[in-house]
Amino acid sequence: FSLIRPAMSKFWSPLVNRLTPYVPGEQPKLPNLVKLNTNENPYPPSPKAVAAMQAEIGHDGASLRLYPDPSADRLKEAVAAFYGEFGIGARQVFVGNGSDEVLAHVFMALLQHDAPLLYPDISYSFYPVYAGLYGISAETVALDGDYGIDLSAYRRANGGIIFPNPNAPTGRLLPLGEIEALLTANTESVVVVDEAYVDFGGDTAIALVNRFPNLLVVHTLSKSRSLAGLRVGYAVGHPDLIEALERVKNSFNSYPLDRIAIAGAVAALEDRAWFDRTRNAVIASREQLVSDLTLLGFQVLPSAANFVFARHPGRDGAELAQALRQRSIIVRHFKAPRIDQFLRITIGTDEQCGALVAALKEIL
């Protein structure tokens, strides 16, 4: 075997030879690492979710002989109940193996049109990957001078619009009123709001779903529910949009969620007290970190997420990331234009954030 991966192989399909896959943030396993690079939650998931998963396995794992519910109805009901104040029903919910998989279904089912898909030029880097995978034409829309999304620039012919709110990796939040204005103007294509981080400071657009049949809101249990390892995400929208996603899903994998994931996700959604406690702790640590970084001379973009995006006028971003790494602190640095001086720092525990600030004081 060659240890060097071939650029292409005659055994690969033409599709595989064309792909430019997403490169996930690294998951290093060094001891004593302060890992602030992939926006995981520093707190454990709800103890009730852990107990529910253990109960699902049982003492002998007998339930795992059986296939899970292919439509994960209990989970759809739990999502609908969580957003009961907005009058959401289980038929308005689609679930998948992480929101990445939900997004893959969205690209296949709802965004294959002649006009280009629009998304911000600085945004979640899986969007161009999925557009490439499914052969969807796409155009990016530049962020404004303050690294914010200007939705008025999306009012042109399009085959769909997708953006995260808060945006990643900037952390900047759009108010719901601006999304509502876009939806009022853009009625002919699907608008997807990727709310992976909304629980750390934003209002969810699920509030608008029953007024706009072309709105789809995508959520994950990876961030605010500390379950990145379980891989659960969902989408909320009009039943017609959900039906399209189900059709693609049933042509692809009829059992996307396993029994353990369904049990854990339901219990996590039901434990509102744990959800509120842990996300409020992350928000409080974020506010402290923003003020500490500002005192050190960093420019920190306003963040409504569980990370901050910051640059230091006197120091190169790549060098800072490297200097932190030498002190066993891992943050994310992007080589992309316009943001290559920034660090994206996940909010850890107060102790982890303290270690970061102490290391930066040494470095600067």
Q: Which is nearer to ligand PMP, 98 or 201 (CB)?
A: 98
Q: Which is nearer to ligand PMP, 34 or 221 (CB)?
A: 221
Q: How many CB atoms lie within 10 A of CB 327?
A: 15
- Site for ligand PMP contains 124 (CB under 6 A): yes
CA separation for the pair 346, 358 (Å, rounded): 16
DSSP assignments along 294-318, one per residue: HHTT-EE----SSEEEEE-TTS-HH
Question: ω before 21 within 30° of 0 (cis)?
Answer: no
- Site for ligand PMP contains 202 (CB under 6 A): no
- Site for ligand PMP contains 194 (CB under 6 A): yes
- Site for ligand PMP contains 264 (CB under 6 A): no
Q: How far is the CB of 58 from ligand PMP (least distance, A)?
A: 27
Q: How far is the CB of 165 from ligand PMP (least distance, A)?
A: 9
Q: Which is nearer to ligand PMP, 214 or 220 (CB)?
A: 220
Find where tokens 């969007």 sit.
Answer: 127
Among 99, 158, 214, 278, indicate the residue that binds ligand PMP (CB under 6 A).
99
- Site for ligand PMP contains 233 (CB under 6 A): yes
Which tokens is 199 given? 């629980």
- Site for ligand PMP contains 216 (CB under 6 A): no
Three-state secondary structure call for residue 50 = helix
Count of helix runs (H) and strand runs (E) in the chain:
11, 12
Contact segment (CB under 6 A) with ligand PMP among 64-72, 96-104, 322-330, 345-353 equals: 96-104
- Site for ligand PMP contains 98 (CB under 6 A): yes
Q: How far is the CB of 197 from ligand PMP (least distance, A)?
A: 7
The count of residues interacting with ligand PMP (CB under 6 A) is: 12
- Site for ligand PMP contains 45 (CB under 6 A): no
Contact segment (CB under 6 A) with ligand PMP among 71-79, 92-100, 319-327, 350-358 equals: 92-100
Please say whether the beta carbons of 186 and 161 come within 8 A. yes
Please say whether the beta carbons of 187 and 214 come within 8 A. yes
- Parallel, antiparallel or unpaired: strands 161-164 and 191-194: parallel
Q: Write the CB contacts of 296 (distance below 8 Å, at least 6 apart in sequence).
A: 312, 357, 360, 361, 364
- Which residues in this chain contact ligand PMP in the complex, by CB under 6 A? 98-100, 124, 164, 168, 194, 196, 220, 222, 228, 233
